[in-house]
Structure 1
Amino acid sequence: MKYAETTPISTLSSHIHSFWELQGDDTDGQWERIFPDGCPGIIVNLGESCQTDNGQTIMEHGKTYVVGAMHSFKDSFIDKQTHLLGVCFKPAAFSSLYKYIPQQELVNYTTIFDVAHSFEIGKIYTDPVRYLNSYFLDRKLDMNPVLQSVLQEIHLSKGKISIYDLTKKNFITPRKLERLFNTHIGLPPKEYVNIIRFQSALAMMKADNNKHSLADISFECGFYDQAHFTNEMKYYTGHTPAQL
């Protein structure tokens, strides 16, 4: 399997993490697991029909799909006929690029886009990065400044912050914060905070090379104890920390 990411032009860096491409090869024929990161995306299938959403969704050749934020893991089947091109958005960016349904209605789903929102396959094949940069530059709008401030607080704290502190620091009521998250991110604020904390712990495990115990990582990342850490990791990945 070949996987590559490309950074968008700098003027899109506030909205898009990356453009990515995945191509299967003769060694593939397995389910690949994706972990939640709080980000939505778009996928266009350039290969044969592809199973995703734990086998519940079939992505057809030439079709464009919107992928909602996830609150748990999902599996996709990759074989030598798989060829996917995708866009990974930053949190809350999707709703500033598309007039579409609230993000909470897309959570955990891969949904086919209507023709008006779909990519032009001919241009994708010719020069995908140039086409995608131009496509999203034409759609780009400013994102909600209050929500951006809240997201910055969450990421700077690596998910070690309470909803109470977020509302007080940003002069917003819990109800208004909930509405903003439902509309622009799809996940409740607490769920999103937990996912960022999970991603922080996962990154620490990958970079750590077993220099710290799981108990140390649990404490560093703000979990109550190692049992809490293990339960959260199993919920988001389907595996215990020791199995990752």
Structure 2
Amino acid sequence: MPFLRHYLLLDANEVGGITYRLFSDGQPGIVIPLTENMLISTSDYLFGQQLPSMFIYGQMSVYRDLKIQGQMALLVVVLRPFALHLLFGMPADELNDGIFLPTDLFGPDVIPFERKMAKSKNLHEVINTLESFLLERFQKSSGLNHDLLLSLELINRHQGLIKMENLLKELQVSERQLERHYRRQIGVSPKKFMNIIRFQHFLKIFSALSPARKLTAAVYQAGYYDQAHLHNYFKTMTGITPMEYQLKVNKLAINFMQF
């Protein structure tokens, strides 16, 4: 629980293919295919290549489309913001906007785990194998900076609306120190992380509105200056307008939808 946020399980059979759009919620993740006969494509990973047993993605600054053909069963493991740094011990900002195979980050140590995953007969076994492997890795990690953990708690409690000066006063650290901790252990600056959390807060408010209700109320409730500012940020983050997002019916999570 301290390292994993939640699981998403996708299960479908579409010969013509399905496209899923994923955009940042401040959390990296691991994608594990549960079937062998599907084709997968992203801007980094093309159709026709052999599908890996799993791949890992870092913090995202732009949306990413995942295109899948054939019978599909896919497990998405959504991690806590700092989890990749704990797993690999490398600066998290080196993983931003990237898709990585297990051996890219774990090295040959991951091969026995991949073989065990391949032999797992059902979802329960896959999750047990994954959690055992991750827990072993986390136990070997050097731990997290206390100021970073407290700042995450404060940012989430204030839904991204806390001022930087108030955050620094509460932590009693300099902005430069906090920035260094964030880039190394989370991958983005504190201000960018606050923007992501505030945007997620807006999406929760906005998703609860009926299409007939105006966008303005949600914009100001989430702390944005005006509708135009939010509209531009929304299009950059998701690739669609707020109204297009609101009318999308196939949302698997606030930041994950079927196209």
Which residue does 1:122 correspond to in 2? Answer: 118
Structure 1's unaligned 5+ residue stretches are 1-12
Identity of aligned residues (%): 30
AA aligned opposite 1:21: L
Query: Could you tell me how far 1:28 is from its partner in structure 2?
Result: 5.1
Query: Could you tell me how far 1:212 is from its partner in structure 2?
Result: 4.5
SS in 1 for 2:154: helix
SS in 1 for 2:132: helix
Alpha-carbon contact 2:161-2:223 (below 8 Å) kept: yes
Map Cα deviations across residues 112-152 of structure 1 (whole Å, 9 max, x no partner): 12132364323544511222232223233443321111011
Query: Could you tell me how far 1:226 is from its partner in structure 2?
Result: 0.9
Which fold has the larger relative contact order, with Cα–Cα distance below 8 Å and residues 6 or more apart in sequence? 2
Query: Could you tell me how far 1:44 is from its partner in structure 2?
Result: 2.9
1:113 aligns with 2:113: no
Which residue does 1:26 correspond to in 2? Answer: 14
Task: Measure the CA separation in 2 of the matches of 1:167 and 1:125.
Answer: 49
When residues 124 and 224 of structure 1 are mapped into structure 2, their CA distance, relative to the original with a 3 A threshold, is: farther
AA aligned opposite 1:139: R
Map Cα deviations across residues 150-203 of structure 1 (whole Å, 9 max, x no partner): 011111111112222221111111111111111111111111111111111111
Alpha-carbon contact 2:39-2:70 (below 8 Å) kept: no
TM-score normalised per structure 1: 0.85
TM-score normalised per structure 2: 0.80
1:166 aligns with 2:167: yes
From 66, 70, 93, the equivalent of 2:60 is: 70
SS in 2 for 1:43: strand
Task: Measure the CA separation in 2 of the matches of 1:49 and 1:102.
Answer: 31
1:235 aligns with 2:236: yes
Write out the 4+ residue segments of structure 1 that deviate beyond 6 Å after TM superposition: none
Which residue does 2:92 correspond to in 1? Answer: 103
Query: Could you tell me how far 1:20 is from its partner in structure 2?
Result: 3.2
Which residue does 1:10 correspond to in 2? Answer: none
Task: Measure the CA separation in 2 of the matches of 1:133 and 1:206.
Answer: 32
Query: Could you tell me how far 1:104 is from its partner in structure 2?
Result: 0.5
Question: Number of aligned pairs?
Answer: 229
Q: Which moved more, 1:154-163 or 1:27-36?
A: 27-36
SS in 1 for 2:208: helix
When residues 124 and 21 of structure 1 are mapped into structure 2, their CA distance, relative to the original with a 3 A threshold, is: farther
When residues 225 and 67 of structure 1 are mapped into structure 2, their CA distance, relative to the original with a 3 A threshold, is: same
SS in 1 for 2:56: strand
Query: Could you tell me how far 1:27 is from its partner in structure 2?
Result: 6.0
5 Å-filtered alignment, 1:54-93, equals: 55-58=43-46, 60-93=50-83
When residues 140 and 18 of structure 1 are mapped into structure 2, their CA distance, relative to the original with a 3 A threshold, is: same
Query: Could you tell me how far 1:223 is from its partner in structure 2?
Result: 0.4
Q: Which moved more, 1:80-89 or 1:55-64?
A: 55-64
AA aligned opposite 1:38: G
Which residue does 1:184 correspond to in 2? Answer: 185
Task: Measure the CA separation in 2 of the matches of 1:100 and 1:24.
Answer: 36
AA aligned opposite 1:66: I
